[in-house]
Structure 1
Amino acid sequence: MTSAVRLIRSDSLADAPYAYAATAPAGSRLIFLAGACPLEDDGTTTAPGDYAAQAARCVETLQTALTAAGASLTDIISTRVLVASSRQEDLATSWDVIHAAFGSHDVPSTLLGVTVLGYDDQLVEIEAIGAVPGDAS
């Protein structure tokens, strides 16, 4: 199935590793995803202290939630990546893993350093909104 999401770029803005905007046509079904966390099936946090491993687990969690909603990564219209760190290096490590997972579908995204996240030893979380063709049925 073709994605309803259209990424928008502008030569008038600084070059960035993501699209600056995205749209979906009227009639698209929006999918609002809870923050994808780096949790194992038993509820423990993946790889305490490892930003890259936690980012990868967040992507896996996000993909599972998308599948349950009838969507995939190419149906994401925007993301917000939260990283529990004040070091740009940690943000970049997390971003590199997530950006690679999205490949050419480089959706508009905000990358934030935060003081703490909700689970013990959690370092990364991905919030996302998706859009797929069709109605709510």
Structure 2
Amino acid sequence: MLPPTPAGSLPRQTLSDVAEYAYAATAPCDARLIFLAGACPLAADGTVGPVGDYAGQAARAVENLRTALGEAGADLGDLISTRVLVATARQEDLVTAWEVYRDAMGDHAVPSTLLGVTVLGYTDQLVEIEAVAAVRD
């Protein structure tokens, strides 16, 4: 068993290091957990966009995620789990959205799932990012 960590990603022991994410993370017992609804690529006026642009929608979803985290007293560095949903059957579209997401995370290796789905909730929506964060107040 691994020793407990104060928060964040656990070190890899035997799983592949090819993946650009952590396989597991912990949250301190005194942390406040923040469960975020899926961050969508919505502009302030409620429109989805940029239409047809996986990278652009991923970037907008990350910015909306960043805003929601900020309003809850957290930031991207507090994330302990994410799920990136991409409306596509093409692996290259998944990779395009993932690269934008990964770049936004910087050195913070969040346990993540990248998932291709048939359709998302808004017309023309291609990307959505669900997340859980942990913060100490």
TM-score by length of 2: 0.93
SS at match of 2:62: helix
1:118 aligns with 2:121: yes
Match of 1:98 in 2: 101
Match of 1:62 in 2: 65
Give the superposition deviation at 1:9.
2.5
Give the partner amino acid of 2:20.
Answer: P
Match of 2:8 in 1: 6
**Mapped partners of 2:86, 2:7: distance in 1:** 26
Give the partner amino acid of 2:96.
Answer: T
The runs of at least 4 aligned residues of structure 1 exceeding 6 Å deviation read: none
The number of aligned residues is 131
Q: Structure 2 regions of 5+ residues with no counterpart?
A: 1-5
| Contact 1:39 1:46 (8 Å CA) reproduced | yes
TM-score by length of 1: 0.93
**Mapped partners of 1:77, 1:9: distance in 2:** 14
RMSD over aligned CA atoms reads 0.9
Match of 1:36 in 2: 39
**Mapped partners of 1:5, 1:48: distance in 2:** 37
Give the superposition deviation at 1:25.
1.1
1:80-109 deviation per Cα after TM superposition (whole angstroms, max 9, x unaligned): 000000100000000000000001001000
- Identity %, equivalent residues: 66
Match of 1:20 in 2: 23
Q: Structure 1 regions of 5+ residues with no counterpart?
A: none
